[in-house]
Amino acid sequence: MRFSKQRQIVLDILLESNDHLTADQIFQRAQEKDTNISVATVYRNLNQLEGRGLINKVNRLSTVSLYDGNIEPHDHLHCRKCLRLYDIPKKEVPNIIDQVAFNTGHTIEQAEIIFSGLCQTCKAEEMKS
């Protein structure tokens, strides 16, 4: 992986900051350091850096929202092979809210969990080969 001046700047901004930044915020900060950088470069670098595990992206599920008629509280499993999203009823998931609230000092009202891995079906197929 090549480290251009721009890529380095994007990475530095993220490493220096303790916050979570939007691409646009990163773009603005980068402009202050380098008069000539484009949004496209910022996005391309963010994708590259994330792909190599150098940075983290929150909200990675997809760019579109998904809607669900199931309003019973539940979590999700995102299968990395078939990419399907499965519902996981809350009763299958140990409740960790009190423990985390105690450990962190925040007031926690809800937890929304996205599991990832292989669904039953894809796991079975993987076995065959």
Partner DNA sequence: CTAAATGCAAAAGATTTGCTGGCGT
Partner DNA sequence: ACGCCAGCAAATCTTTTGCATTTAG
Q: Which residues bind DNA (CB under 7 A)?
A: 1-7, 22-24, 34, 36-41, 43-45, 47-48, 63-65
Min dist CB 71 to its own copies, Å, is 5
Q: By CB under 8 A, is residue 103 in contact with its own copies?
A: yes
Spatial distance between the Cα atoms of 26 and 5, rounded to a whole number of angstroms: 15
Q: By CB under 8 A, is residue 39 in contact with its own copies?
A: no
Spatial distance between the Cα atoms of 80 and 10, rounded to a whole number of angstroms: 28
Of residues 54, 52, 41, 47, the one with CA closest to residue 11:
54
Q: By CB under 8 A, is residue 97 in contact with its own copies?
A: yes
Partner whose binding site includes residue 88, from DNA, its own copies, none (CB under 5 to 8 Å by kind): its own copies
Min dist CB 8 to DNA, Å, is 8
Q: Which amino acid is at 15?
A: L
Partner whose binding site includes residue 83, from its own copies, DNA, none (CB under 5 to 8 Å by kind): none
Stretch that binds its own copies, among 1-9, 16-24, 28-36 (CB under 8 A): 16-24
Cβ burial of 37 (10 Å; 0-12, 13-18, 19+) is buried
Exposure b/e, 72-92, CB count within 10 A at least 16 = b: eebbbbbbeeeeeeeeeeeee
Q: Which is nearer to its own copies, 8 or 108 (CB)?
A: 108
